[in-house]
A and B are shown apart, each in its own frame.
Chain A
Amino acid sequence: MGVIGKRVAYYPGCSLEGAARSYDVSTRIVARELGLELDYLEDYNCCGAMESKNVTFMGTMLLNARNMSLARKQGHSVIVAPCNGCSFSLQRAEYFLETDKAVFDKVNALLREGGVDALDQIPQTYHILEWFYHEAGPHKVREKTRKPLRGLKVANYYGCLYTRPHFYARTYAHAGGQEEGVRPRRRETADDDEHPYYMNALLEAAGATSVEFEPMHTQCCGGPHSLSDEMVSEKFVMMILQTAKRNGADIIATECPLCHASLEMYRHRLMMKGVPDVDVPAAYFTQLLGLAFGYGANDVKLKDNLSDPLPVLRRLGLA
């Protein structure tokens, strides 16, 4: 443990400054409690998420390279992103910049032209969950817990892009077919690729109980199509919520603002349609950790969650 660094560049992403404010606030609380330091990436831009990459390849590389360049300017070689989409985009750019020399040179030339410093080194991007687990870990969470989440049954929802694809997230050692030089290596801090457990471990250390949630813990929520392809997203979210409910979960813990928004939006729509067993509320795992560390419901902005987890938490005496 302790291989990523206690002080890192923090790339919150657009969502966390608006609708997912609660995730940002609670993340800062948890980081402070665990003795870690987030250095806000000044003047960042959107990573392009899952949408821009379908329209333009080079444009998306540039968007992410600009953020990397800003992180280098602030003296960091590690970026931490709390959003699956953002960490995916940055890791994707990292992969192409590392493996394709032509892309790297072109991006650097364009960065200089756009008034940003060229990249002297490519910073590594980690998901915030990986960072928490490796820099603080369950024992530190246990140490800091003042109000254990006793009796709370949590379904840990990781979403797609936290462990996938292994080319970008570096969760798996083997990548057949690729040439030796460009074959990605497993990162020693990476989570298990098919059975991620970091969130389970952290929340269990805080006193919660994880329910059986495979294989829905990494099932897609509709993601980039949650607005453009409503039927498919609705079905996927229904499968996730029903599995959680039928496995006895009180709450779904999320770690991505996109998944969270998608779950909450379709939960409401499914309930309007009268679909059974979909009324599990969702909360960010940092909110739950914040509660365990003794913060109040208003400190971690539980009111912001449209799925309203407050009644469940009140019933268990946790908020």
Chain B
Amino acid sequence: MAIHERSLVEPERILRKERLVVDGVDISGDWNLIILPRVINDYDLDFAKEIVNSPDGKTINQCYQCSYCTASCPVHNYWDERYNPRHFIYLARLGMIDELQKRADVMWRCVSCHKCTHRCPKGVLVEEVLKVILRTMAKKGLIDEYPSKKFDKFFTESVLEYGRIEDGELLFGWIEKQGYKVFKDPILKKPIPFIGETPEWLKQLTIKPLKSMNIDFLVLNAKHMLFHPKTKNWSKFKQVLRRVMQEEGALH
């Protein structure tokens, strides 16, 4: 017999028996598959309260578990069945932290395509809610560092510092965080492509404009990599922004 959303049941809770006799009646055959009951005795109701109190997470209480979000999710459908937005919302509302922690390795995988939010019949901002769940878990130290969080912080710090981002800096900075030894010039401490260690695909891509003699494109991007594009009149605003982010606990 098929089990609905089998990925949500731990394998050790599924029992399959060759012969099963209950109260003297032989029910082998189709009825030999049993899911052992689950006992929940530790849950944290304050966890959901914190999510409801945040401006982008307050719609979580409108969820009626129809699973439209999961059905439309590309990560669930094309990558990993264990990524299940409906279930994450369910667990967060019950405050079952340990169950959420078991799924920590897939929970960050949301690609922010917003199909879930778009299709939700109850008006839950699903994508936002999932990110709030992750953010709250990270704030409470319930989840380890995950790749997208590293990148998000890296990106946000760049915005905070300069007011704008620069593609080359993001690309090479991220590669450096991945463990490649990027060569940097000694004065401005900016990465220089071609000399240091870079993945093969990136080398080939950076060499393309050179091959096609696209000089002004190269000059523009080199200029941006050396002298980061900045927003003028940024310093005063930056202080306010930094304070706001510190109040939210976003900067550490």
Give A contacts to B, CB under 8 Å.
14-15, 17-19, 21, 43-46, 48-59, 62-63, 66, 96, 100, 102-103, 110, 113-116, 160-161, 163-167, 172, 175-178, 183, 193, 219-220, 222-225, 227-229, 231-233, 235-236, 239, 261, 265, 268-269, 272, 301, 303-304, 306, 308
Partner of B121, one of A57, A177, A231: A177
Chain B residues near A96 (CB, 8 Å)? 55-56
For this complex, 5 residue pairs linking A to B, each with C-beta atoms less than 8 Å apart, are A51-B152, A52-B152, A56-B156, A177-B59, A303-B214
The 7 A-B pairs at the shortest CB distance, nearest first, are namely A177-B123, A177-B122, A220-B113, A165-B117, A114-B237, A51-B155, A114-B240
With A18-B166, A56-B156, A62-B241 as given contacts, are A178 and B123 in contact (CB-CB < 8 Å)?
yes
| B208 at the binding interface (Cβ < 8 Å) | yes
Chain B residues near A166 (CB, 8 Å)? 118
Is the pair A100, B123 in contact by a Cβ cutoff of 8 Å?
no
Give the most central of A48, A116, A175, A304: most B CB within 10 Å. Answer: A304
| B92 at the binding interface (Cβ < 8 Å) | no
| B45 at the binding interface (Cβ < 8 Å) | no
Chain B residues near A44 (CB, 8 Å)? 231
Chain A residues near B124 (CB, 8 Å)? 177
Give the distance in Å from the alpha carbon of A14 to the alpha carbon of B159 in the complex.
Answer: 10
Partner of A161, one of B114, B134, B165: B114
Chain B interface helix/strand/loop/mixed: helix
CB distance from A229 to the nearest CB of B (A): 6
What 19 new A-B contacts, CB under 8 Å, besides A21-B217, A54-B131, A268-B204?
A18-B221, A53-B128, A54-B149, A57-B248, A59-B160, A63-B159, A116-B237, A160-B114, A160-B115, A165-B114, A165-B117, A165-B127, A172-B118, A177-B123, A225-B148, A229-B111, A231-B79, A236-B74, A239-B78
Of all chain A residues, the one with the shortest Cβ separation from B201 is A269
Give the most central of A17, A50, A183: most B CB within 10 Å. Answer: A50
Of all chain A residues, the one with the shortest Cβ separation from B213 is A303
| B245 at the binding interface (Cβ < 8 Å) | yes
Is the pair A62, B244 in contact by a Cβ cutoff of 8 Å?
yes
With A62-B241, A116-B237 as given contacts, are A193 and B118 in contact (CB-CB < 8 Å)?
yes
CB distance from B122 to the nearest CB of A (A): 4
Chain A residues near B217 (CB, 8 Å)? 21, 301, 303-304
Chain B residues near A220 (CB, 8 Å)? 74, 111-113, 115
Give the distance in Å from the alpha carbon of A257 to the alpha carbon of B222 in the complex.
Answer: 19
Give the distance in Å from the alpha carbon of A83 to the alpha carbon of B160 in the complex.
Answer: 21
Of all chain A residues, the one with the shortest Cβ separation from B173 is A227
Chain B residues near A116 (CB, 8 Å)? 237
Give the distance in Å from the alpha carbon of A236 to the alpha carbon of B78 in the complex.
Answer: 8
Is the pair B148, A45 in contact by a Cβ cutoff of 8 Å?
no
Give the distance in Å from the alpha carbon of A43 to the alpha carbon of B240 in the complex.
Answer: 18
| B185 at the binding interface (Cβ < 8 Å) | no
Chain A residues near B147 (CB, 8 Å)? 228-229
B162-189 residues at the A interface, CB under 8 angstroms: 163-168, 170-171, 174
With A14-B165, A223-B111, A272-B204 as given contacts, are A165 and B125 in contact (CB-CB < 8 Å)?
yes
CB distance from A283 to the nearest CB of B (A): 15
Of all chain B residues, the one with the shortest Cβ separation from A301 is B217
Chain B residues near A43 (CB, 8 Å)? 231-233
With A160-B112, A172-B118, A303-B209 as given contacts, are A54 and B240 in contact (CB-CB < 8 Å)?
no
Is the pair A52, B156 in contact by a Cβ cutoff of 8 Å?
yes
Chain B residues near A56 (CB, 8 Å)? 156, 244-245, 248, 250
With A59-B156, A303-B214 as given contacts, are A53 and B229 in contact (CB-CB < 8 Å)?
no
Chain B residues near A63 (CB, 8 Å)? 159, 241
With A59-B250, A96-B56 as given contacts, are A114 and B164 in contact (CB-CB < 8 Å)?
no
| B224 at the binding interface (Cβ < 8 Å) | yes
Chain A residues near B117 (CB, 8 Å)? 164-165, 167
With A58-B248, A227-B171 as given contacts, are A48 and B159 in contact (CB-CB < 8 Å)?
yes
Is the pair B248, A59 in contact by a Cβ cutoff of 8 Å?
yes
Is the pair A225, B118 in contact by a Cβ cutoff of 8 Å?
no
Give the distance in Å from the alpha carbon of A289 to the alpha carbon of B121 in the complex.
Answer: 38
Per-residue CB contact flags for chain B residues 98-109 toward chain A (1 = under 8 Å, else 0) read 000000000001
| B137 at the binding interface (Cβ < 8 Å) | no
Give the distance in Å from the alpha carbon of A176 to the alpha carbon of B115 in the complex.
Answer: 16
| B91 at the binding interface (Cβ < 8 Å) | no
Chain A residues near B114 (CB, 8 Å)? 160-161, 164-165
CB distance from A264 to the nearest CB of B (A): 8
Is the pair A54, B118 in contact by a Cβ cutoff of 8 Å?
no
Partner of A51, one of B151, B209, B240: B151
Give the distance in Å from the alpha carbon of A113 to the alpha carbon of B237 in the complex.
Answer: 8
Give the distance in Å from the alpha carbon of A206 to the alpha carbon of B192 in the complex.
Answer: 42
Give the distance in Å from the alpha carbon of A235 to the alpha carbon of B212 in the complex.
Answer: 29
